[in-house]
Amino acid sequence: MQTLPAYLNGQDFPVSDTYDNIDPSTGRSLGPVARCGPEQVDAAVAAARAAQRSWRLTSPETRARLLTRIADLIERDAEILARLESEDTGKPLSQARADATVCARYFRFYGHAIDAYYGLAIPLEPDLHAYTRREPFGVTGHIVAWNYPMQLMARAVAPAIATGNCAVVKPADETPRTAIALARLATEAGLPAGVLGVVPGIGAEAGAALAAHEDVDHIGFVGSTEIGSLIAHAAADRVVPAVLELGGKSAQIVFPDADLEVAATFLTKAILQNAGQTCSAGSRLLVHTSVHDEVISRVAARFAEVGIGPGLADKDLGPLVSRKQQARVAAFLDGLTQGEIVVGGSAPDEESLREGAYFAPTLVDGVDPRSEIAQREIFGPVLVATAFDTEDEAVALANGTEYALLGAIWTRDLSRAHRLAADIHAGQIYVNTYGAGGGVELPFGGFKKSGYGREKGYEALDAYTQTKTVIVRL
């Protein structure tokens, strides 16, 4: 097995220290990975700073052409990328293929968007010409989570480089391979050396060095609220902006007039996609007492039919990303004293799955909304259910955690839907559907401890630029 290198200044960059990349489906190594530290982060940031002097002066047309070329190459190599992603994360191959498609879409979307991204003229007086310019920050750092490596890297890097920044990426230590593959494709597309660098390694080493680097002008992070707080402190110490997309405990509220068949289908997908390892997973079910038993029965039946297996086998549900994550999920359910485990609750019994980090689809009913399992992000295929009687009670339950990333309302009453969409604290609200983060075009981010700043859509272009106002007396 060849060692996966870092990628600096447009080429592979060998690093002597390494660590093993573990396949969560089997528990065996996929090969050694470069273990970058402050020295390699320094080199990547220096290369980005040198490249940014000319990259910021390139025309939007030039950047647009390069980004769309990167999208073309991602689509060309989509199957290769999907297999790497499936092996690294354990997710079913079909889900990894969808991730590759969305990854290409990010580069294509921002390649098209940058052509129409302008400042504003501000009318003041006849003899004053006032206008704004949107200018890049310079060097942007991106610390990417392990649950959607391709998508998360693309949604951060594409708008950053589209607006004239140069980017340094620290992929999650569990899932480094597609980040290097994407950087190589960017060079093949013609992206100048230094505009995009990748420094794989351990978060406490490479990630911490990138977040605290004095020459990084903007930092983005996707991951846990606890680590996000550390990143925010590092950014605040240097007085640079940060975009944080953190944890979630998103509620799906089901009213009696909802289409329960459709709702049950989406409730199942929203928690089992990527084995529940999604910040925007629909992990809390709030269901009206009059339809509680029916909804629980429908969801439990769907959970019981789920096929489990290695990512490349493309079953309904793959393993969690690691044994460590498997143990964390199990700890929430071991010794549960309140609530009934309707289905699941442990690792599957099949002999063929024992070497992997699998966990069965789990539904827990009758959960106290103040309990740990209802308040904390589990990050596994675990759905917790609580009944409610009134609309006000549903809103209070939905808003009753420290997180505020997504929410969903299932009802045919559109007046109720709009009322609740305004009352629920969350960055995105779905009505009679659920998209776990939504499309490339939709601004995405949270309130409260789910983070701040917005990625995706046109708002991401604002996030990676700063406004300069120019006033000229004519």
DSSP string, 406-448: EEEEE-S-HHHHHHHHHHS--SEEEES---TT--TTS-B--EE
Measured distance CA(129)–CA(41) in Å, rounded: 43
Q: Which residues pair with 7 in a beta bridge?
A: 12, 198
Over the stretch 247-258, which tens digit does the pLDDT of each residue have? 999 999 999 999
Q: What is the mean pLDDT of each run of 10 residues along the chain (474 residues)?
A: 94 96 95 97 98 96 97 98 97 96 97 92 93 96 97 98 98 97 98 98 96 97 94 96 96 98 96 95 97 98 96 96 96 89 95 95 97 96 98 98 97 97 96 84 95 95 96 95
Tell me whether the CATH fold assigned to 6-246+450-473 matches the one assigned to 251-439: no
Residue 437's pLDDT is what? 61
Helices assigned H by DSSP within 135-224: 149-162, 177-189, 208-212
CATH of region 251-439, choose from 3.40.640.10, 3.40.50.2300, 3.10.420.10, 3.40.309.10: 3.40.309.10
Q: Which residues pair with 166 in a beta bridge?
A: 139
Taking Cα atoms as reference points, which of 172, 122, 124, 121 lies closest to residue 150? 172
Residue 293's pLDDT is what? 98
Buried b (16+ CB within 10 A) or exposed e, 133-152: ebebbbbbbbbbbbbbbbbb
39 is a catalytic site residue:
no
Extract the tokens encoding 152.
């998360």
Over the stretch 43-97, which tens digit does the pLDDT of each residue have? 999 999 999 999 999 999 999 999 999 999 999 999 999 999 999 999 999 999 9
CB-CB contact of 33 with 20 (8 Å): yes
Residue 436's pLDDT is what? 66
Q: How many CB atoms lie within 10 A of CB 11?
A: 12
Q: Which residues pair with 451 in a beta bridge?
A: 245
Extract the tokens encoding 219.
């930092």
Extract the tokens encoding 190.
């013609």
∠ CA 336-329-147, nearest 5°, is 155
Measured distance CA(319)–CA(325) in Å, rounded: 10
Can you say whether the dihedral through the CA atoms of 237, 40, 158, 132 is positive or negative? positive
Residue 337's pLDDT is what? 82
CB-CB contact of 236 with 210 (8 Å): no
pTM above 0.85, yes or no: yes
Residue 438's pLDDT is what? 67
- If phi over 0 gives left and psi between -120 and 50 gives alpha, with beta otherwise, what is residue 367? beta
The DSSP string of 291-322 is GHHHHHHHHHHHHHT--B--GGGT-SB---S-
**Structural Rg of the chain based on CA atoms:** 23
CB-CB contact of 158 with 67 (8 Å): yes
CATH of region 6-246+450-473, choose from 3.90.1170.50, 3.90.226.10, 3.40.50.300, 3.40.605.10: 3.40.605.10
Domain boundaries along the sequence of the chain: 6-246+450-473, 251-439
Among the listed residues 245, 294, 305, 355, the single catalytic one is 245
Measured distance CA(165)–CA(184) in Å, rounded: 18
